[in-house]
Amino acid sequence: MQTFVTNEVLRRSDDYVPFDIVNRSGHSGLLRSTGHIEGTDVVWHTPYARRLYYHPEYNFQGAPTRGGNWVDRMLQNGGMIEIEKGARKVASK
């Protein structure tokens, strides 16, 4: 269950992460977040990820979708409901 929730937070947050933290993966040139999972935590390891996360006043490329507090904003924009629905499905199996 926790694995599902953590993976969903990472996946659903990708569209909210500022381009400054996004890189091009080797998979078909798709833009992907540099976020990854450590245990039950989603972590973005870039030197400036913390600064960008806690300063939504910065002028982000891709704004208003991309910007600071990306996980919180994803959860508020329907992500929490969708993750809960998915978790219920996983738990009922």
Position 63 scores a pLDDT of 83
Reported as a pLDDT band with limits 50, 70 and 90, residue 25 is: very low
Q: Is residue 83 a contact partner of residue 74, using CB atoms and an 8 Å limit?
A: no
Q: Is residue 74 a contact partner of residue 16, using CB atoms and an 8 Å limit?
A: yes
d(C-alpha 12, C-alpha 5), whole Å: 10
What's the predicted TM-score (pTM) here?
Answer: 0.81
Reported as a pLDDT band with limits 50, 70 and 90, residue 23 is: low
Greatest mean pLDDT among 5-9, 25-29, 37-41: 5-9
Q: What are the percentages of helix, strand and coil residues in the chain, rounded to 5?
A: 45, 15, 40
More confident residue, 90 or 37: 90
d(C-alpha 65, C-alpha 37), whole Å: 23
Position 24 scores a pLDDT of 44
